[in-house]
Amino acid sequence: MILTPGASIAGKRITQSFGLVYGNTIRARHAGKDILAGLKNLVGGEISEYTKLMAEAREQALDRMKESARSQGANAIINLQFSTSYIMGSASEILAYGEAVVVEDA
């Protein structure tokens, strides 16, 4: 599956469009990780527990979006974007979305 944030793919032409596809996930923080993050906040630096959590969430959202596109017969997704939203005190949503298309060599 070809993924791109652009509206076209070099060397390919779009032969069919299926429209919007998306994948999302909502992840909650773990209380134990919140304690570690709080300590890290005191001394500064990256909070690697949250970095890992968000990376896993992005991958899951991408996988769900790609599966949606495949089920419609697409072999690429163009105009790929991510969106993040705050759901509640300890949970965030990651949304990946784009346009499912069929591309062929130009």
May I ask the CATH class of domain 2-105?
alpha beta
13 Cβ neighbours under 8 A, 6+ residues apart: 103, 104, 105, 106
Domain definitions of the chain by residue range? 2-105
**Whether pTM exceeds 0.75:** yes
Pairing status of strand 12-28 against strand 91-105: antiparallel
pLDDT the model gives residue 52: 85
Tell me the backbone φ, ψ of residue 19, rounded to 5 degrees.
85, -160
16-73 residue pLDDT tens: 999 999 999 998 866 555 555 555 566 667 777 778 888 999 999 999 999 999 999 9
